[in-house]
Structure 1
């Protein structure tokens, strides 16, 4: 079997459409996170970016998101190393940067965009909008694991 595009090319050689295709649609990168200043440990909360659609786990304004959320991180092959520590361990970008394979539920493997949700690997149905939770209360909404 011929290797698939993410197996044939390093991240920095992917075409824009291939790069975007790696996103599994879990929505975890859109969760607000808390970082322990002493340990550097990152905790995911169920408090999500105002642009995350809880039902689809997709950004409602992805192409123009920086107009609404100026500090939204744009991942690229050049920025992945600096940002991997706060990304979910299941994220395709992080996995590939670390030389690991995609999970079987990733739609590029399964052929089904809903498999990430069926596998329980997404945040579908569990998020709260950052508009509804004061930042000082985020600690009350830390998820057990990513």
Structure 2
């Protein structure tokens, strides 16, 4: 492949725009594969960008899943309520989980232990800095606002 090294593309990644950043990095790497980006029709570019967007979302979901699964016991729970009991007594929380063996084991074996509760949702990472740049098949018509600004 031509273009920049992967490490150059990852330096500007931000957690809030990870999906869009990954898509943009992939777009930079494939624009010259087989047929240059500029020779693709507007529809072909749109399909390519949408396919990469789907791939980026898939990668982010898998990354979040991997983080959740990494080495520590886990159970997917729903937070129902919290009670703030005062500065010296802490915060109490009520959670529920599916009644399956894995959750019974993880939760039952760790009652009274300290743990880290992570509020994780892959939607957190699905923003983008800007939409994918698609080249229109037809140039702007003379007299349109954009052509006058040029």
Tell me if TM exceeds 0.5: no
Structure with the larger helix share: 2
TM-score by length of 1: 0.21
